[in-house]
Amino acid sequence: MLKIKNLNASYGSKKVLRNLNFEIKKGDITAIVGESGTGKTTLALSIMGLLSEEHDIKRISGNILFNGTNICSATRKELSRIRWKKISMVFQNIDNILNPTVSVYKQISEILNGKNDNSKIKNMLERVGFPSDRADAYPCQLSMGEKQKALIAMAYISEPELVILDEPTSSLDSETKNILTEVIKKLSSKKTVILLTHDLDTVKRMSEKTMVLYGGSIVESGPTKKIFSNPRHPYTRGLIRSYPSPDRTKDLQGIRGSSEFVDTGCPFWPRCTQSINICKVYRPPLKKYGDTMLACHRGGIIPLLNIENISKSYRNLEVLKSVYLSVYEGETVTLLGKSGSGKTTLAKIIMGLLKPDIGYIYLENNKIEKWDAGFYKKVQMIFQEVESAVSHRLNVIDAVMEPMLIHREKDKPEIIEKAKEVLSEVELPTDSNFLHLYPHHLSGGELQRVVIARALILSPKLLIADEPTSSLDASIQAKILKLLNRIQEERGLGMLFITHDLGVARKVSDRILKLKNGIITEERLK
Amino acid sequence: MHISIRKNLKKDKSARAGLIIFIMILLISATAPFFIKDPEAFSKIILSRPSITSILGTNDLGQDILSRLIYGLRTSVFVAISAGLLATLLSVIIGVIAGFTGGLVDEVIMRIIDAMLVIPSIIILILISAFIKPDIISLVILIALFRWQVGARIIRGETLAIKQKIHIYSARTFGAGKAYLLKRHIIPDLGNIIMASFLQNARSAVFLEAGMAFIGISSLSSISLGTIMHNALEFYYLPVWLWWLLPSGIMLSLVLVSFTLLSNLIEKVIDPRLKDA
């Protein structure tokens, strides 16, 4: 029904839409999601044929085929035959969408070309829940919700084939939102709908298909359920993580940086935590992965760590029985279990401090044969025993520099600078007084931060945190957990978080794995 | 667990006394040749009482007793330091290798140490010495060869304990190799134990050297407190023992006491529970 081919649009030198290619089938409700400024409204306007005729700063190229008619090259006459009759749109409800000098009733009837079809209008107003006695009111006399209802009524009154909803519910309170979502769902049966929004809750409730738009390109698309339950593009995951959904227990995390249009490479690379060189140069094509489409050079969020079939026993005591586990880039997996359940044993096996009886460990899909300096640059561990994790002979700066001195890749002044940088990243002072304190001078929270700084200075991709807060009081624990969360957002750090505390686990994890009797079972986060 | 020897030294009077005696002994031994008469020079005045020319009188060969005592002290200090260092070096190398490597190496080393410990080393020492009449250097080597085992055992145990400490694990997970671990963590962490072991070895080296000289089985080419006492004992029936035998005994005791007091301090530093005792 709607086919978009190589669609490009730019405002001056700023490219807003890049090479969009997609197709929308009749009867589908397709959501296009993305942050503000990713080109959603521009896309809507170009489908409405509103972009081509405005000032020529907005250049548009490519084809938008609506039932065979190319909207991009259509004449005004052709457009007027389609617009509002075949394709209608609910504009983003900002105050100046409705004409302030014309009553609502009149504005709706305008769409029906002045035909004063009273019963039809009344019926429509009733269906959207607009109080019919207020139909003669002027826009300034209406509430936000009422205005939105009026806009929806306008879009549906002409029984169009395709409706574009641009942020239909985002500025409304949740009750009105619920009502309107239901209204739209009812109105949209047997219609083709494009839903443009950043409101993921609405997307989940209304659409069957979702496309994720970033920087004018589609980065991921597929069935809505799949996209939400198993996002593969880092941007999609970032969007879901920053959305306060009611069944989410982990703290909100944003996406680092701010959205900007880049000319070459993947549109998301400056903010992506797993970008590699190729991401900066070539734009990834949209490729099919099962029933979803994904544009990512790395094939979506990469698995950092895979553990396969690890078993370990101490004499007769079987601690781990054929354990499988994986940690993806930028996610926190919590290993939950009571003390003595083998959590630390597993951590030590991953770190190469213990040898498993059988089983393999893969880092970024490479099997680990020996634990060398290269491995430890990528994987770091925070030990449970904070008090003794730093030698009593090392002061703060020496302790933080130690990992870099071991790797001997830089000169000392550079290492000192780097150490200070990391210390301020973990929110510790960097004055010379503090730098020369010894571990026994520091409080538990400070020492834990020093230990975290030590683990971060090598810029690892995976951090194993073994009960990092169990010795701290609740308020300091909260700060440390927030800190880890923030560091994860900025660095895309994969984290294997080991704890016995379910409350903490729910607060930090994307996934919770329960370790009991040497067996790992996945917990549903609800 | 940050511990400082200096802080403990300030609080501990007996340790301070030990340190002062030790420093004085060192000073006297170092500067002796500049103000002391030749200890080997003979004179016709034999077995004289203390006088202005010879403060502690002369011996049966007319040699100045004080000069000989101070030269004997020098020998003791030399033996203490060199045998102490050598034995401790052996203890550290062997103990750390056993503890750090573990496994078969550890097993073999420990059995050798056990075997050597059950043989009474003093008897073997006396037998060998009686046979080869060792000069001072070979005596030092001999003493060191029979004194490193206890230290090695302690250091091996301590290395095993340090190896399991979290900061060692941390360093390992930063990618540190064995050399780094030994240099930056294990040896420094052993510091106090090594110090204690050195003092113990030094003390028993002084005692062994004096003892063997006293029973007359070490070479007579060097002047030793033990030899002096051995010679003095022949004249015990004369009042000469008062300024010959007694001062040499006191001198030897002072050396031993200073080492004992200092090693007590180190032991307290290592094990804070001893502080109140």
Q: What gap in Å lies between CA B50 and CA B32, rounded to an integer?
A: 20
The average pLDDT across A422-444 equals 91
Average pLDDT on A506-519 reads 89
Find the closest chain A residue to B162 by CA distance: A391
Q: Closest partner residue to B169 among A383, A393, A407, by Cβ?
A: A383
Whose CA is closest to A20, among A32, A39, A31, A4?
A4
Residues of B in contact with A352 (CB under 8 A): 173
Confidence of residue A347 (pLDDT cuts 50, 70, 90): very high
ipTM of the complex as predicted: 0.75
Q: How many Å apart are CA A127 and CA A101, to the nearest integer? A: 25
Residues of A in contact with B169 (CB under 8 A): 353, 383
Q: Rounded CA gap, A390 and B170, in Å?
A: 8
Sort strands A58-66 and A69-70 into parallel, antiparallel or unpaired: antiparallel
pLDDT at residue A194 above 90? yes
pLDDT number for residue B277: 47
A464 and A378 in contact (C-beta within 8 Å)?
no
When pLDDT is averaged across residues A340-368 and rounded to a whole number, the result is: 92
Determine the residue type at A414. Answer: E
Residues of chain B with confidence (pLDDT) below 70:
1-4, 272-277
Residue B275: the pLDDT is 56
Q: Is A142:A150 a contact under the CB 8 Å cutoff?
A: yes
Q: How many Å separate Cα A417 from the centre of its chain?
A: 33
Instruction: Classify residue A330 as left (phi > 0), alpha (psi -120 to 50) or beta.
Output: left
B151 phi and psi, to 5 degrees? -60, -45
Please list every residue in chain B whose beta carbon sits closer than 8 Å to the beta carbon of residue A407.
Answer: 174-175
CA A373 and chain centroid, separation: 33
Cβ count near A372 (within 10 Å): 12
The tokens describing B176, both together, are: 């540190």
3-state SS, one letter per residue, for chain B: CCCCHHHHHHHCHHHHHHHHHHHHHHHHHHHHHHHCCCCCCCCCCCCCCCCCCCCCCECCCCCEHHHHHHHHHHHHHHHHHHHHHHHHHHHHHHHHHHHHHCHHHHHHHHHHHHHHHHCCHHHHHHHHHHHHCCCHHHHHHHHHHHHHHHHHHHHHHHHHHHHCCHHHHHHHHCCCCHHHHHHHHHHHHHHHHHHHHHHHHHHHHHHHHHHHHHCCCCCCCCCCHHHHHHHHHCCCCCHHHHCCHHHHHHHHHHHHHHHHHHHHHHHHHHCHHHHHC
Token pair belonging to B79? 């033996």
Q: Which residue on chain B is closest to A379 by alpha carbon?
A: B173
Cα–Cα distance measured from residue A374 to residue B175, given in angstroms and rounded to the nearest whole number: 8
Segment A380-424, tens digit of pLDDT: 999 988 888 898 888 999 999 999 999 887 888 999 999 999 999
| Per-residue confidence (pLDDT) for residue B254, from 0 to 100 | 92
SS3 A10: strand
Query: Quick one: pLDDT at residue B3?
Result: 56
**CA B262 vs CA A385, B1, B89, B91, B192: distances in Å:** 34, 21, 19, 20, 12
Q: Do A383 and B1 touch (CB under 8 A)?
A: no
In contact, B230 and B100? CB cutoff 8 Å: no
Residue A93 per-residue DSSP state: -
Residues in chain A with CB shorter than 8 Å from the CB of B3 are 392
Please enumerate residues of B whose Cβ is less than 8 A from a Cβ of A: 1-3, 165-167, 169-176, 180, 185, 188-189
Query: Tell me, what's the pLDDT at B79?
Result: 93
Residue A359's closest CA among A297, A299, A310, A293?
A: A310
Residue with tokens 């996934």: A511
Report helix, strand or coil for A265.
coil
For residue A310, the cross-strand partners are: A323
- By Cβ distance, the residue of B2, B166, B189 closest to A440 is B2
Q: What residues does A61 pair with on adjacent strands?
A: A8
List Cβ neighbours of A519 (8 Å cut-off, separation of 6 or more): A321, A322, A323
Q: What is the number of residues in chain A? A: 526
3-state secondary structure A214-245: ECCEEEEEEEHHHHHHCCCCHHHHHHHHHCCC
Pairing of strands A2-11, A519-523: unpaired
The amino acid at residue A457 is I
Closest CA of chain A from B166, distance in Å: 5
Yes or no, beta carbons of A377 and B165 under 8 Å apart: no
Mean pLDDT score of chain A, rounded to an integer?
A: 87
pLDDT digits (tens, 9 = 90+) for B77-129: 999 999 999 999 999 999 999 999 989 999 999 999 999 999 888 888 888 88
What pLDDT shows up at residue A95? 67
pLDDT at B104: 95
Residues of A in contact with B174 (CB under 8 A): 376, 380, 402-403, 406-407, 454, 458
Task: Answer yes or no: do A375 and B175 touch at CB < 8 A.
Answer: yes
